[in-house]
Structure 1
Amino acid sequence: MTPTAQPIPTSSPITTAGCHQDNQHWKQIIRQQEEEILQLRSLLHDVMEQHNCRSLRYDAIDYYRALNHLQGDINQLRRNIICESNECMYHSENASCKDTRYGLSATIERHATKVINEFTRVKDGCLQFLSGMMSLNLL
């Protein structure tokens, strides 16, 4: 799984290039989080399909729902804060951080860190649950 995201230093004034770099940095981290969410959801789906024990299913369902909720948070983060159009891939001279695509660039770190911290909490619990199942030879 991926390590915790390292924030980008923001001591200097935000430039257009810095804004674009921040956006790309957080897009990459969010993409990694989504890949991990997909992997964990797949494992949990397998648990739910293979085991009829109510306590195992309830735990798996709880983690699955928490991961679905996180995916929803990531989708909202992408919609509201992260610039994902093709224009964002290139450093356009007329696109500034004041452009609506980057209007919330100063808050990307705060919002993304909140989602990442919640994901880390859910992931840790989920991995502990799955590890317990492996130690009991249930996976």
Structure 2
Amino acid sequence: MNRVPSTNLFSLPVTTISCHQEHQHWQQIIRQQEEEIQQLRTLLLDVMDQYNCRSLRHDAIDYYQDLNQLQTKLDRLHRDLICNGVDCSPAKQELACGNAHFGLSATIERHTTLLISEFSRIKDGCLQFLSGMMSLNLL
């Protein structure tokens, strides 16, 4: 059997430039997810405000709660792995690359990929629910 040599991510040097690029990349992905979550929550709030039908409200509430939980996870990811602290001012972002904790881009990527997958699942169900309402001329 031929073995492929494994690359240890922790042994690769992390330059300040690549660190800042990774930092910006993950911030942008999280920001996009947050914008989409907010848009879906706004639509679901409209459904809950307009319709008293128990099944419609129940589904809308379920999706809304799922999106809230996902937003909480994104907030935690952003705080713990991207900003590496509670406050994430621009000055703090510059310091993030001096900290070895930030160099764990594989961890950030793994967590972000899981959240994106979870969001895709929730979003697909939510959009199917909303498009069903549109086909019934309820929206």
The answer, yes or no, to whether TM exceeds 0.5 is: yes
| Unmatched 5+ stretches in structure 2 | 1-8
| Unmatched 5+ stretches in structure 1 | 1-9
Contact kept in structure 2, 1:97 and 1:105, CA below 8 Å: no
Alignment of 1:39-118 (within 5 A): 39-83=39-83, 84-87=88-91, 90=94, 95-96=97-98, 98=100, 100=101, 102=102, 104-118=104-118
Q: Deviations over 1:86-130 (max 9, x none)?
A: 13555x7x94351x5x25433111111111110011000000000
Contact kept in structure 1, 2:19 and 2:103, CA below 8 Å: no
Aligned: 1:17 with 2:21? no
CA RMSD, aligned part only? 2.1
Q: C-alpha displacement at 1:25, in angstroms?
A: 0.3
Contact kept in structure 2, 1:22 and 1:105, CA below 8 Å: yes
2:82 is paired with a residue of what secondary structure? coil
Mapped to 1, the partners of 2:137 and 2:116 lie a distance apart of: 31
Give the number of aligned pairs: 125
Q: Which amino acid aligns with 1:21?
A: Q
Where in structure 1 do 4 or more consecutive aligned residues deviate above 6 Å? none
Q: TM-score, normalised by structure 1?
A: 0.81
Q: Which amino acid aligns with 1:118?
A: E
Distance 1:129 1:20, change over 3 A: same
Distance 1:137 1:40, change over 3 A: same
Whose helix proportion is higher, 1 or 2?
2
Mapped to 1, the partners of 2:16 and 2:98 lie a distance apart of: 5
Identical positions, percent? 64
